[in-house]
Amino acid sequence: MRVVCAVIIYQGRVLACQRAVGKPEGGKWEFPGGKVEEGESDQVALAREIKEELAMSVSPGSMVKSVVHGEIELWAYRSCWDGVEMELREHQDAKWIIPAEGDMLDWAPADVAIWKEVRRTFFPTA
């Protein structure tokens, strides 16, 4: 299953979302996103999923990393945010984290490698 997620960096912080308890990987942290539907590009799917989950508009850009975890093929894209406040529709929490906070989060397994790449690429000295 192809899944896309957004790496949104704003004022030196990265958006992390906590999966709702009762869902698979409930309580774990992830980069927001979701499944790519048949006929969708990754960019269209990512913009749609972020709008559905967080009521935010994003513009997906370059790929950060892809990870295979079980049946999930996760593709992370650096995404620009429109600056409008978010509304949690699927997650139990969301926060803008600094790198040290990200190192301490309990990430969903597929997002661990994404976080490591984000940390290495965008915050090498933090």
Domain of 96, CATH number, reads: 3.90.79.10
First to last CA, the chain: 34
Q: Which residues contact 30 (CB under 8 A, 6 or more apart)?
A: 5, 16, 17, 18, 19, 107, 108, 110, 111
Q: What pLDDT was estimated at residue 105?
A: 97
For 95, the token pair is: 């926060």
Q: What pLDDT was estimated at residue 125?
A: 85
Q: Which domain holds residue 50?
A: 2-122
Domain count along the chain: 1
Kindly report, residue by residue over 52-98, the tens digit of the pLDDT.
999 999 999 999 999 999 999 999 999 999 888 899 999 999 999 99
pTM higher than the cut 0.75: yes
